[in-house]
């Protein structure tokens, strides 16, 4: 079945460092791909998405490019801030007709001043 594999955390970075969180997927066809962010004690917020191959999603300085050749959707940010500390989830819709989201296990990011 469809699945998502994320790099394991936790990840600790200094403020202004470069961030990469790897995400690869296994799916039938070319589904949309999503990154969600979860701040402590809160629900999930959509960070960005891409709906087809070679699309680049971007939001709040974060970017991810849909690479069908490598089945990847890595999340990047050039300069992280303390406020970016959160758990990041890669996800894809799966299930014919239902399109429930299948999530990775999440990567916890801590940014220190």
- State the residues that interact with another protein by CB under 8 A: 4, 31-32, 34, 36, 41-46, 49, 51, 89, 91-93, 95, 97-101, 103-106
Using DSSP's 3-state secondary structure scheme, residue 26 falls into strand
Q: 49 vs 67, which CB is nearer to another protein? A: 49
Distance CA 70, CA 52 (A): 14
CB of 95 to another protein, least distance (A): 7
DSSP 34-62: EEEEE-TTS-EEEEEEE-STT-EEEETTE
Q: 46 vs 112, which CB is nearer to another protein? A: 46
């Amino acid at each position: 079945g469809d699945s998502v594999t994320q790099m394991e955390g936790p990840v600790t970075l200094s403020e202004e460092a470069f961030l990469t969180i790897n995400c690869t997927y296994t799916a039938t066809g070319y589904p949309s791909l999503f990154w969600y962010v979860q701040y402590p004690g809160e629900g999930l917020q959509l960070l960005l998405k891409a709906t087809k191959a070679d699309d680049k999603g971007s939001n709040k300085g974060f970017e991810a490019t849909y690479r069908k050749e490598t089945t990847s959707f890595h999340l990047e940010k050039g300069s992280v801030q303390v406020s970016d500390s959160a758990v990041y989830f890669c996800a894809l819709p799966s299930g014919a007709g239902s399109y429930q989201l299948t999530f990775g296990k999440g990567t916890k990011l801590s940014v220190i001043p």
